[in-house]
Structure 1
Amino acid sequence: MNWKPNREDKKPIYKQIADYIEQGISSGEFVPDSILPSERKLADILEVNRSTVVAAYEVLQSLGLVERVKGSGTRVSSDIWGLSHKRIPNWGRYIEYGSFLPNLPLVQRIRMETQDNHLINLASGELSPELFPIEQFQTILSNEPFIGHLGYDHPQGNEMLRKTICNHVEEYKNIKTTPSSILITSGAQQALHLIVQCLLKPGDAVAMENPSYSYSLPIFQSAGLRTFRLSIDQNGINPDDLLALHRKHRIRMVFLNPDFQNPTGVVLHLLRRKRILDLSSELGIPVIEDDPYSLTSFDGKVNSTLKSMDNNGNVLYISSLSKIVASGLRIGWIIGPTKVIERLADAKQQVDFGHSIFPQWIANQFLQSNHFESHIVMIREQLKHRRNQLIASLNDILGDQIKFNSPGGGIHLWCKVNSGINEYQLLEEALKVGVAFVPGRIFGSEKGFVRFTFGRGENDLIHEGVVRFASALRNIQS
C-alpha cells in the first residue's frame, strides 16, 4: 500500500482512508471476501492512530462495504455486488461533495428547535402567525372568483401581478418601473440565488455589510465568490470603505439592506445612499438592494430607496411580502434592467418552470384591495408595541447587562451582552430553558452579540422569553 493520507487536506484523515479503501473496492484492488489489514497494522502503515483506522472501518461498515467480526478482523463484504450486481451509493459522500453547500449546522439546529411549540421563538425572522391577514384572505377567496388559467404562466411571472407591483412600488416607494422590468420570485431568498448564480462567476469579489444576514447564507461560498465586509455604524456603511475595497479587490457587486438592516436595525443615511449611487456609476459596480422592511417604519415614513434614486439602472431591487404579509405566501420580486430580468427569468424557468399561479393570484387581489393599507397600519402598530415590550423587559430584567439601540422599524433587535459570554454556549443553555435567539456570529459579527426577533414573538410571551434568556445567562455565568 503506497498511498498515504494528505495531512494538509481539510478532510478528516479517517474519511480519506475510508474513501481510499472504497475506491479500491470499486476498482477491484480489494476483492470481495478478502481480508483487510488489521486496525493496528494499517495504522502503522499509514502512520496514524489506531482510533483513526477504527473510525474509517466503521464508516465502511455503515455503508455495507466491509464486515467486521471480533477475532476475525475486517474483510470486504462477500455480497457487495448483491445478486443483481448492484451497489448502494455512498450517499454520505455525495452529500459531502455536492457543490451546493448546506446551511451552517447552527442555523439548521435553530430551525429544527424552533419547530417545538413549547419553545418561545425569538429567533425566526418572520411575523407571528397572529399578524397574518387570514381573515382578509378568506374574504378574498369567498368573494373574488379565480380568474386565470392553470397552465405555465409568463416566464417573469403573472402579468396582472407585475402590473399591480408596478403600482404598488410607485405608490409606496416612489419606484417607477414597468412589468417587463419585474421578475416574480419565491421570496427574496430565491432572488438572491438567481442573481448570484447568473450574474457572477467563481473568484468574483463582492461586498456586504458587517454584520449581515447574507453572511449566514452559503450561496456565496457555493458560488466560489470572495466576500468582503463593510462595517456598519449608526448611519449604515461608509461609502469610502466601499471605494477602498474596490481599489484593492475590484469589487464586482455590493449587497445592501438599507432600511432596518438585518440584524442591526440600522437605517442607511440619505447622504450615504447618494454617495453609494455615485460610486456605483463611477466604478460600474451593481448594487443589490434588499428591501424587506421599509414599509414597517413605525412612524409611517418610508425612506427613499436606492432604486427610487437610481437614474442609471445600476440597482437591482429585491423585495417581498414575506416580512409584511405572510412568509408562507412566497411572493417576492426583482426590479432591474429588462435584459437582466430576462436572464434571471430564464434561469428560474430552468428550476421550476415559473411561479405557482394561486399565490400570485391572491397576492394580486390583496395588493389591489383596501385590505393592504389597513394591514400595513396594523403591522406597524403591532411591531412597535412588541419592540417596546421587548425593550422594557430587557431593561427591567437585565438592566446594564445588555446594550442595544431601539430600531425605528423592522422586526429585529440587535443586542450586545456585556458579560463576555460565549453566545453559542448561551444558546445551548437558552434552549434548555425554552427560548431561542440567534447568536450574532452567525451574521459575522464579533462575539458577544445576539439577535432577538420581536416580530415572531407572540405578544404575551415576549416578557417570559426574556425571563428565560436571563435565566440561561445566569446559568452560564455561575
Structure 2
Amino acid sequence: MEWKVNRSGDKPLYQQIAEFIEQKIAYGEFPPGSLLPSERKLAELLNVNRMTIVHVYEELQASGLIERKQGSGTYVSTHKWGIRPSVYTNWKKYVEGGSFLPTYPLIRRIREEAKRMENGFDLASGELSTDLFPVQALQSAFTQQTIPCDLGYEHPQGHLALRETVANHVMTYHKINTTSSSVLITSGAQQALYLITQCLLSPGDAVAIESPSYYYSLPLFQSAGLRIFGLQVDADGINPDDILALHRKHRIRMIFVNPTYQNPTGTVLADIRRQKMLEISAELGIPIVEDEPFSLLSFEDQKHDPIKSFDQSGNVLYIGSLSKVIASGLRIGWLIGPQSVINRLADARQQMDFGLSVFPQLLANQFLQSADYPDHLQYLRKQLMDRRNLIMSALREILHGKIEFTTPKGGLHLWCKINQEVDDQKLVEEGIKNKILFMPGSVFGAPNGYVRFTYARLRQKSIMEAISRFAEALSRV
C-alpha cells in the first residue's frame, strides 16, 4: 500500500486511517460490496497495531460505511449512510472474470512484500540492484540526444534508428544476421511473449517449455488457453529428443526456451543440443521462441551462440531485452523473426497502444551506440560474478550442507536444492516474517524444496545478512 500514516502529526493514527478509507470509498476506489483487508492484514500493510484497525473498522461501521459479516469479512456497505442505491456495479464478478488471469497468489504475495518491506532483503526480484544501473552514462546519453520535431505516433515496429542499432547489436554480440525490417521493438521481453501467445497460437494449442522454467510463473500461457508441457532440464539444458516424444503425443505447436543461463536454474543449453533442436524444429515445422535476456552476462570468456545464429530457415523467433543488462525500468526489448510475423505482431501491438513512447527508444539507441555500453557490460559482469561468489560462500558457511547448488557461469540467479523436507508456502511466510524474500521453486514448476536467489538484487555488503535470515527462516519450518 503506497499510502502511509503520518506518525509525527497531531491527528491520531486510527483517525488518519479511517479518513483514508472513507476517501477511497467516496472516490469509488472501494465500490459498494468491496471486500476490505482483514484487521490483521491491514495492520501489517500500514505497520500499525491490530487494535488500531479494530478501532478504525468500528468507527466506519458506526457511520454506516462498512458492514462486518461474521466468518466472511469486512465489506464496503451497499447501503451508504443508510441510503440503498438503486443500482451498483458488482465489480467482484468483473475482477474475477475476464480471460487474462491474475498473477499467482504466492508470487503476488512476494511482490507485494517487496514493494513495502523496509530494512529487508530482496533475493526474489529478478532484476539488478540500483547501484548496477548505469545512471551517469544514461544521463550523458540523454543530454546528447536531440528531441525530434515530429512527436507523432512512431512506426508500428518501433523507432527506425533503434531497430537499425539492434540489428547491428545482435550481429556484433550474437552473430545474428537480420535487418531493421525484421525487428519489432517491444516493452521488454514479456510483451513479446504476450504478443506471440495471443497472435500466433490458438486456445487448445500445445506448447513445450523447459521444466523448471520462469514460464511456469507467467499466467499469460493459461490466459491464452494453451496446453503446457514440460521438457526436463538437466546439467546441459533440455534433451532435444524429448521434443520428438512430446510432439508424437501432443502435437506440439511451439517451443519456448531460455537457453543461456536459464531462469531459474542458470544452466546453459549445450551447443550440440542447440543444433539438434534446430534440426528437429525444421523437420517437424515447429517454431522455436528463443528468449535470451542473460546471454551477455557471462563470467567466462566462452560465448554461447544463440540458436537464432544457426537459423537459415526463419524457424526461430528471437527475443532480447535491456532489462537485465541496463535497467528494467527502461522497458526496451525486441523480437526478431520473419517479416510476416513481425508485421502481424506489430499490427496487434499498434491496436493495443499505438506503439512505444519515443523517448526511451531514443535513449536506448544513444546508449547502445556509445563507448559507455561495452564498459558498462564489463563492469556489470565483474560485479555480478563477485556477488555470485559471495552468496555461494555465505550459503556454504552458514547452512553447512543443508542446501546444495551448481555454480552458475553467468546470469543473475542461483538455483538451490534444500536438503530437508519443506513446505514452500510456509518457508516463504517465515522468510517474510524475517524480512528476507526469495522465489520458491514451486512457482517455476519444481517440487517443494527448491529456491531461486537473485544475487544481482542486493548490494555486496547485504548478502551475508540476507543468507543468515534465510537460514533462520529455514530453521523454523
Letter in 2 for 1:192: L
Query: Once the 2 structures are TM-superposed, how far is the Cα of residue 55 of structure 1 from its aligned partner?
Result: 7.5
Provide the residue aligned with 1:106 in structure 2.
106
Query: Once the 2 structures are TM-superposed, how far is the Cα of residue 56 of structure 1 from its aligned partner?
Result: 11
Letter in 1 for 2:457: R
SS in structure 1 of the partner of residue 350 of structure 2: helix
Query: Once the 2 structures are TM-superposed, how far is the Cα of residue 59 of structure 1 from its aligned partner?
Result: 8.8
Query: Once the 2 structures are TM-superposed, how far is the Cα of residue 64 of structure 1 from its aligned partner?
Result: 2.3
SS in structure 1 of the partner of residue 171 of structure 2: helix
**Does the C-alpha gap of structure 1 residues 210 and 118 become closer, same or farther in structure 2, counting only changes over 3 Å?**
same
Provide the residue aligned with 2:78 in structure 1.
64
Provide the residue aligned with 1:166 in structure 2.
167
- Indicate whether 1:341 and 2:355 are aligned: no
SS in structure 2 of the partner of residue 296 of structure 1: coil
Supply the RMSD in Å over aligned alpha carbons.
2.0
1:313-369 C-alpha deviation (Å, 9 max, x unpaired): 000000100000000000000000001000000010011100110000000000001
1:278-297 C-alpha deviation (Å, 9 max, x unpaired): 01000000100000000000
Provide the residue aligned with 1:197 in structure 2.
198
**Does the C-alpha gap of structure 1 residues 143 and 66 become closer, same or farther in structure 2, counting only changes over 3 Å?**
closer
Letter in 2 for 1:193: Y
Query: Once the 2 structures are TM-superposed, how far is the Cα of residue 117 of structure 1 from its aligned partner?
Result: 3.5
Provide the residue aligned with 2:286 in structure 1.
285
- Indicate whether 1:97 and 2:97 are aligned: yes
Q: What is the percentage of aligned positions where both structures have the same residue?
A: 53
- Indicate whether 1:304 and 2:305 are aligned: yes
Letter in 2 for 1:220: F
Tell me, yes or no, if the aligned pair for 1:285 and 1:314 is still in contact at 8 Å.
yes
Provide the residue aligned with 2:253 in structure 1.
252
- Indicate whether 1:389 and 2:382 are aligned: no
Tell me, yes or no, if the aligned pair for 1:254 and 1:288 is still in contact at 8 Å.
yes
Letter in 2 for 1:64: T
Provide the residue aligned with 1:48 in structure 2.
none
CA distance in 1, matches of 2:370, 2:251: 46
Letter in 2 for 1:225: L
Provide the residue aligned with 1:370 in structure 2.
371
Provide the residue aligned with 1:175 in structure 2.
176
- Indicate whether 1:217 and 2:218 are aligned: yes
Tell me, yes or no, if the aligned pair for 1:209 and 1:255 is still in contact at 8 Å.
yes
Moved more, 56-65 or 365-374: 56-65
Structure 1, unpaired ranges of 5+: 1-21, 23-53, 68-76, 82-86
Tell me, yes or no, if the aligned pair for 1:60 and 1:66 is still in contact at 8 Å.
no
CA distance in 2, matches of 1:63, 1:319: 49
CA distance in 2, matches of 1:155, 1:475: 53
**Does the C-alpha gap of structure 1 residues 57 and 112 become closer, same or farther in structure 2, counting only changes over 3 Å?**
closer
Query: Once the 2 structures are TM-superposed, how far is the Cα of residue 458 of structure 1 from its aligned partner?
Result: 1.5
Tell me, yes or no, if the aligned pair for 1:297 and 1:410 is still in contact at 8 Å.
yes
Provide the residue aligned with 2:410 in structure 1.
409
1:86-109 C-alpha deviation (Å, 9 max, x unpaired): x21100111111111000011111
CA distance in 2, matches of 1:60, 1:399: 47
Provide the residue aligned with 2:445 in structure 1.
444
CA distance in 2, matches of 1:344, 1:361: 22
CA distance in 1, matches of 2:153, 2:303: 36
Moved more, 421-430 or 338-347: 421-430
CA distance in 1, matches of 2:448, 2:401: 18
**Does the C-alpha gap of structure 1 residues 395 and 350 become closer, same or farther in structure 2, counting only changes over 3 Å?**
same
Tell me, yes or no, if the aligned pair for 2:231 and 2:243 is still in contact at 8 Å.
yes
SS in structure 2 of the partner of residue 114 of structure 1: helix
1:420-455 C-alpha deviation (Å, 9 max, x unpaired): 111221111111111100010000001100000001
**Does the C-alpha gap of structure 1 residues 459 and 307 become closer, same or farther in structure 2, counting only changes over 3 Å?**
same
CA distance in 1, matches of 2:69, 2:226: 34
**Does the C-alpha gap of structure 1 residues 58 and 405 become closer, same or farther in structure 2, counting only changes over 3 Å?**
closer
CA distance in 2, matches of 1:63, 1:330: 40
Provide the residue aligned with 2:274 in structure 1.
273
Query: Once the 2 structures are TM-superposed, how far is the Cα of residue 208 of structure 1 from its aligned partner?
Result: 0.2
Tell me, yes or no, if the aligned pair for 2:145 and 2:362 is still in contact at 8 Å.
no
1:269-309 C-alpha deviation (Å, 9 max, x unpaired): 01110111001000000100000000000114321101001
Query: Once the 2 structures are TM-superposed, how far is the Cα of residue 65 of structure 1 from its aligned partner?
Result: 8.0
CA distance in 1, matches of 2:223, 2:284: 26
CA distance in 2, matches of 1:60, 1:293: 45
Tell me, yes or no, if the aligned pair for 1:63 and 1:90 is still in contact at 8 Å.
no
Moved more, 188-197 or 420-429: 420-429
Letter in 1 for 2:103: N
Query: Once the 2 structures are TM-superposed, how far is the Cα of residue 466 of structure 1 from its aligned partner?
Result: 0.2
Rg (Cα) greater in structure = 1
Counting matched residue pairs gives 410
Structure 2, unpaired ranges of 5+: 1-32, 34-67
Letter in 2 for 1:158: H
Moved more, 207-216 or 55-64: 55-64
**Does the C-alpha gap of structure 1 residues 263 and 57 become closer, same or farther in structure 2, counting only changes over 3 Å?**
closer
SS in structure 2 of the partner of residue 386 of structure 1: helix
Query: Once the 2 structures are TM-superposed, how far is the Cα of residue 149 of structure 1 from its aligned partner?
Result: 2.6
CA distance in 2, matches of 1:61, 1:437: 33
What is the TM-score with the length of structure 2 in the denominator? 0.83
CA distance in 2, matches of 1:124, 1:445: 18
Tell me, yes or no, if the aligned pair for 1:64 and 1:80 is still in contact at 8 Å.
yes
